[in-house]
Amino acid sequence: MEKILIVGCKRTMDSVCIACSRCMVAFNRREGEFSRYKDQEAQLLGILSCGDCPGAGIVTRLAQINLWNKPMGEKPTKVHIAPCILDHCPHKEPIINKIKAKAGVEVIEGTHPYKPENIFA
């Protein structure tokens, strides 16, 4: 069973990207980068923010996820980096590198595929 942790941008999550629903819809439908779980059991464990600019707290926040879920015997088996970081964060390189260095599980760049091509057409 895969347990998925999504990491996104604190300044975007549930603010610019309302309710983080595009990530959740993509997970439920197994679309975008979640299509890799089409034929296997997978659950969404959480959607974690970077902790705010410049993302200096990300490793601590990963450790907190572990502590927080320990009593339930849950921990992530995969980390997905959301488009709000991949497409917009000026600090994304160090943030992603730190997550890759410390997570101890596979880190996948991407979540949902629902980026609008244009606004007014």
Interface ranges with ligand SF4 (CB under 6 A): 9-11, 50, 52-55, 85, 89, 91
When the beta carbons of 11 and 98 are compared against ligand SF4, the nearer one is: 11
CB of 89 to ligand SF4, least distance (A): 3
When the beta carbons of 30 and 100 are compared against ligand SF4, the nearer one is: 100
DSSP track, 60-116: HHHHHHHHHHGGGT---SEEEE-HHHHTT-TTHHHHHHHHHHHS-SEEEE-------
CB of 38 to ligand SF4, least distance (A): 28
Token pair recorded at residue 86: 């991949």
Q: What's the longest Cα–Cα distance across the chain? A: 50
CB of 106 to ligand SF4, least distance (A): 20
CB of 12 to ligand SF4, least distance (A): 6
Map residue 19 onto helix, strand or coil.
helix
Rounded Cα gap, residues 91 and 114, in angstroms: 23
3-state helix, strand, coil in the chain (%, to 5): 40, 20, 40
When the beta carbons of 30 and 98 are compared against ligand SF4, the nearer one is: 98
When the beta carbons of 26 and 49 are compared against ligand SF4, the nearer one is: 49
